[in-house]
Amino acid sequence: MHIDDLSLRNFRNIADLRLTPGKRINLLVGRNAQGKTNIIEAIGLLSTGQSFRAQDFRDMIRWNAQDAEIAARATCGAGADALRVSIDSRRKSFTRNDKRVTAAAAGKFFTVLFAPEEILLLKGPPASRRRYIDSIIFQLSHTHRSNSMQYEKIVRHRNRLLQDARLSDSARREALRPWDEQLADIGSRIVMARSEWCRRINGLLPERYRAIAPEDAQARFVYVPHCGANAVEKGIDSVKERLRAQLEERRSDEAVRGITLAGPHRDDLEAEIGASRVKHFGSQGQHRSFVLALKLAEMDLLREASGGEEPVFLLDDVASELDAERNRFFFEVLGAARGQVFITATTDADVRLPGVGEISIFDVSGGIATPRK
Amino acid sequence: MTPIDRLVHELAKLPGIGERTAARLAFFILRQPHEYALGLSRAISDVKEKVRLCSECMNLTETDPCAICSDHRRNASTVCVVEDPSDALAVERTHSFRGRYHILHGALSPLDGVGPDDLKIAQLIRRLESGSTEEVIVATNANVEGEATALYLSKLIKPTGIKITRLASGIPVGGDLEYIDASTLTRAFEERREI
Ligand SMILES: Nc1ncnc2c1ncn2[C@@H]1O[C@H](COP(=O)(O)OP(=O)(O)O)[C@@H](O)[C@H]1O
Ligand SMILES: [Mg+2]
Ligand SMILES: [Zn+2]
């Protein structure tokens, strides 16, 4: 899969841009705050339906403009599709070949994003790791996306009941019942999906890690469900049962704290190398190598899931975050791969490495991208 | 306030209508012949004066009981519970349901402050206790609020021994009944499951 042609209108600092990227490596070069990451963000949005950095989708509309538009011709397998995202003050809407589609359906092509924040993925709060794994699954499963949206709503409804001071204990119990039931039901499906996709990532990760750090022990990205790995082992019904039981156990705590204390919104993922946890014992280098391997495993997973088609790799300023050795390794891998890649950098010197192959360079300045001859 | 300001102010209270649209509507009305404005205002006041709730099913009606509740050809032993009058209309359009309705006028939604007492649930229970209902089909929307309402009703109705079923999926998750085409809804009725 690759983008043949991209146009942006009133997207962030970009008034009007048309970009015809190469099928392989595309380098977006420019000083800070010129719009490089904005282009990456737009491609990600086309693919996943979500921005990786906007809190509010309205932030993506160019200041003083009414609406924004991203349009692209993308080739995935069978042929070319016209993809479009329109953003106005009320909504984001998506079309494929001029037919309305849901956000997820617009993503017939997959992207792997690697941004500087992600170097810290293993050190950050559990929420960032949940978001990470979910963002991968969202690309592959519309059901998981819709379950997650429903789940979030269930937790919010539930928290409101827990915080409602007018309810007596028995009335609250009664009112919570249908929400507990749904939390267990939808929650168990989320747990099973995360477990399944983590398992598949772990089938790919060790090899990728070994290639980066051959002398190191085996790398694993372990799913740590709040309901316990045992329940997951036994299947969805026991997860559901366990979630119900946990809600019962935490009932008095919940009443005091006013928040939902059991469920997959409290899951975590843990990086392990051999028997030790990277979060606590990993060196700087191990952190970086692990995340790098994870990204490559993600690429393998998406390729596998799409029947062998290469996903589009989006690399935002990563060269400046990796040391020279890992940089060389990474670009060698990308050079050997066949897919389309977008890389942003402040200087093309970062990326001019042997083995990278043919590069299309675009100079980005003030929201305008100019192909370099 | 000038009459125009007043009209704009009132129109802007309508759902989905902002100040700008309200102003556009107000100027549109102003440009129309006098009869149009009179007709519109009469239609609006008639809605309030003539339309009330059917004392049986809580649907909106001009006569009490409503046309469906007083139609003896319809099977009174099956009651289809929906959130809104528009949902009952959607089910009617399928022509596959010949029972009666009960309109809840909403769904459980703690985030909007809607609890059981804000819905026509007590009326439903009273109706079930006094009547000859054999099956309750819960056709609330397939979103978390509709599902919570269905689970809540199931808990209440189970002890009465009356059969309670829920429309089968086939309804897209997160889908509102109103927007579902008749054939999907017909299938959902046929495949309803006990809850
Ligand atoms: N909605 C917006 N309208 C106009 N400009 C914006 C908007 N959002 C961000 N910007 C501008 O975009 C620039 C950042 O672009 P970005 O792509 O992050 O830069 P970089 O080239 O360093 O990656 C900043 O100058 C910022 O002020
Ligand atoms: Mg940037
Ligand atoms: Zn009636």
Virtual torsion, Cα B120, B123, B125, B126, nearest 10 deg: 170
For A124, the token pair is: 């950050």
CA-based nearest distance B152→chain A, Å: 6
Contact A161 B110 (CB under 8 A): yes
* For range A95-111, the mean pLDDT: 79
Q: Does A371 touch chain B (CB under 8 A)?
A: no
Amino acid sitting at position A359 = I
Which of B111, B152, B174 is nearest residue A157 as measured by Cβ atoms?
Answer: B111
Residue A63 CA to residue A61 CA, distance in Å, equals: 6
Domain boundary among A305, A322, A357: A305
- From A271, A305, A339, the end of a domain falls on A305
Q: How many CA atoms lie within 13 A of A292 on its CB side?
A: 27
> What single letter denotes the amino acid at residue A137?
I
A147 lines ligand 1 (CB under 6 A): no
Whether A310 contacts A301, CB under 8 Å:
no
Q: What is the pLDDT of residues A6-32, one digit of tens each?
A: 999 999 999 999 999 999 999 999 999
Does residue A140 sit in the same domain as residue A7? no
Q: How far is the CA of A88 from the centre of ligand 1 (A)?
A: 18
State how far the Cα of A288 lies from the Cα of A337, in Å rounded to an integer. 20
Domain with CATH 3.40.1360.10 in chain B: 74-166
A32 lines ligand 1 (CB under 6 A): yes
A149 pLDDT exceeds 60? Answer: yes
Query: Same domain, yes or no, for A167 and A62?
Result: no
| H or E segment and range at residue A361 | strand A359-365
Q: For A162, name the nearest residue in chain B, comparing CA atoms only.
A: B110
Q: Which atom of ligand 1 is nearest to the CA of A65?
A: 3
- Other beta carbons within 10 angstroms of residue A173's beta carbon come to 14
Q: Are A370 and A36 in contact (CB under 8 A)?
A: no
Q: CA distances (Å), A12 to each of A114, A345, A371, B88, B99, in order?
A: 20, 19, 20, 45, 55
Q: Verify that A219 and A339 share a domain, yes or no.
A: no
Chain B positions in Cβ-Cβ contact with residue A175 (cut-off 8 Å): 110, 115-116
DSSP helix, strand, coil percent of chain B (3-state; round to 5): 50, 15, 40
Q: Which of A150, A157, A177 sits opposite B110 (nearest CB)?
A: A157
pLDDT recorded at residue A106: 62
Q: What per-residue confidence (pLDDT) applies to B173?
A: 47
Residue A84, domain CATH: 3.40.50.300
Residue A230 domain-assigned? yes
Counting atoms of ligand 1 from 1, which one is nearest the CA of A41?
17
Q: Which residues of A touch B114 (CB under 8 A)?
A: none
Query: Is there a single domain that holds both residue A13 and residue A81?
Result: yes
A91 touches chain B (CB under 8 A): no
A199 touches chain B (CB under 8 A): no
Per the CB < 8 A criterion, the answer to whether B63 and B41 are in contact is no
Question: ipTM score of the complex?
Answer: 0.84
- How far B113 CA sits from the closest chain A CA (Å)? 9
- Same domain for A263 and A153, yes or no, is yes
Sign of CA dihedral A277, A279, A283, A287: positive
User: How many beta-carbon contacts under 8 Å exist across A and B?
Assistant: 45
Say whether both A136 and A278 belong to one domain.
Answer: yes
CA A161, A165, A167, A173 torsion: positive or negative?
positive
Q: Which of B48, B51, B40 is nearest to B11 (CA)?
A: B40
Q: Which residue has the higher pLDDT, A46 or B170?
A: A46
Predicted local distance difference test score (pLDDT) of residue A30: 95
Cβ–ligand 1 distance for A62 under 6 Å, the answer yes
> Is A115 contained in some domain?
no
- Cα torsion for B150, B152, B157, B159, to the nearest 10°? 140
For A319, other C-beta atoms within 10 Å of its C-beta total: 23
Rg (C-alpha) for chain B, rounded Å, is: 20
Verify that A281 and A172 share a domain, yes or no.
Answer: yes
> Which residue's alpha carbon is nearest to atom 20 within ligand 1?
A33
Distance (Å, rounded) from C-alpha A179 to C-alpha B115? Answer: 13
pLDDT for the residue numbered B174: 47
Same-domain pairing of A233 and A326: no
Task: Assign A18 to helix, strand or coil.
Answer: strand
pLDDT of residue A76: 84
Nearest CA to A42 among A322, A292, A305, A316?
A: A316
How many Å apart are CA A228 and CA A359, to the nearest integer? 47
Q: Does A153 touch chain B (CB under 8 A)?
A: yes
Q: Are residues A142 and A96 in the same domain?
A: no
Query: Tens digits of per-residue pLDDT, A57-75?
Result: 999 999 999 999 999 999 9
Instruction: Spell out the per-residue pLDDT of chain B, length 195, in tens.
Output: 899 999 999 999 998 888 899 999 999 999 999 999 999 999 999 989 999 999 999 999 999 999 999 999 999 999 999 999 999 999 999 888 999 999 999 999 999 999 999 999 999 999 999 878 999 999 999 899 999 999 999 999 999 999 999 987 655 544 445 555 566 666 677 777 777
Structure tokens at A200: 């598949």
> Is residue A158 within 8 angstroms of chain B, CB to CB?
yes
Where in chain B are all domains bearing CATH 1.10.8.420?
Answer: 3-50
Indicate whether A102 pLDDT > 80.
Answer: no
Starting at the earlier edge strand, list the strands of the sheet with A276-277.
A219-224, A268-273, A276-277
DSSP helix/strand/coil, B49:
helix
Q: What is the pLDDT of residue A354?
A: 63
Mark yes or no for CB contact B151/A175 under 8 Å: no
| Residues in chain A closer than 8 A to B155 (CB atoms) | 177-178
Q: What is the pLDDT of residue A117?
A: 85
CA–CA distance from A340 to each of A29, A35, A41, A110, A147 (Å)?
Answer: 17, 20, 16, 11, 31
- Tokens 């399928």, residue located: B94
Q: Which CATH superfamily includes the segment(s) B3-50?
A: RecR Domain 1 (1.10.8.420)
Q: Is residue A65 part of a domain?
A: yes
Strand duo A68-76 + A25-29: pairing:
unpaired
Q: Are residues A23 and A49 in the same domain?
A: yes
Q: Is A186 part of a structural domain of the chain?
A: yes
Per-residue pLDDT, A322 = 81
pLDDT for the residue A121:
92
* CA-closest candidate to residue A195, choices A243, A232, A242, A152: A232
Mean pLDDT of A99-120: 81
| DSSP letter (8 states) at residue A311 | P
Q: Is A289 in the pocket of ligand 1 (CB under 6 A)?
A: no
Both A294 and A151 in a single domain? Answer: yes
Ligand 3 centroid – CA B47 distance (Å): 17
- Which amino acid would we find at residue A361? I
Which residue do the tokens 């099913």 mark? B57
**Residue A208: is its pLDDT beyond 70?**
yes
Domain count for chain A, please give it.
Answer: 2
Give the range of the structural domain holding residue A105, as residue numbers without chain letter.
Answer: 1-110+308-373
How much distance in Å is there from the Cα of B99 to the middle of ligand 3? 11
* A264 inside domain: yes
| CB pair distance less than 8 Å for A150 and B151 | no
Fold that domain B74-166 belongs to in CATH? Dna Topoisomerase Vi A Subunit; Chain: A, domain 2 (3.40.1360)
Q: Residue A153 is part of a domain; what is its CATH number?
A: 1.20.1050.90
The residue among A270, A305, A340 that closes a domain is A305
Cα–Cα distance, B29 to B52 (Å, whole number): 28
End-to-end alpha-carbon separation of chain A, Å? 25
CB distance A342 to ligand 1 below 6 Å: no
Strands A68-76 and A79-87 turn out to be antiparallel
As given in the structure block, the two tokens for residue A174 are: 């009664």
Ligand 1 atom at shortest distance from the alpha carbon of A30: 21
CA distance B174 to chain A (A): 8
Reported as a single tens digit per residue, the pLDDT across A284-334 is 889 999 999 999 999 999 999 888 899 999 999 887 788 888 888 888 888
* Contact state of B110 with A153 under an 8 Å Cβ cutoff: no
Check if A38 has its Cβ closer than 6 Å to any atom of ligand 1: yes
Q: Which residues of A156-171 are buried (b: 16+ CB within 10 A; e: fewer)?
A: ebbbbbbeeeebeeee
Is B79 within 8 Å of B101 (Cβ atoms)? Answer: yes
Q: What is the average per-residue pLDDT within A219-245?
A: 97
Q: Is the peptide bond before B65 cis (omega within 30 degrees of 0)?
A: yes
- Cα–Cα distance, A227 to B19 (Å, whole number): 49
The protein residue with its alpha carbon nearest to ligand 1, atom 14, reads: A33
Cα separations (Å) of A182 from A170, A188, B56, B193?
19, 9, 31, 17
Find out whether the beta carbon of A10 lies less than 6 Å from any atom of ligand 1.
no
Return d(Cα A194, Cα A188) in angstroms, integer.
10
For the record, the structure tokens of A76 come out as 């995935």
If asked whether residues A150 and A282 sit together in one domain, one would say: yes
In chain A, which residue's Cα lies nearest the Cα of B152? A178
Report, as an integer, the average pLDDT of A236-254: 96
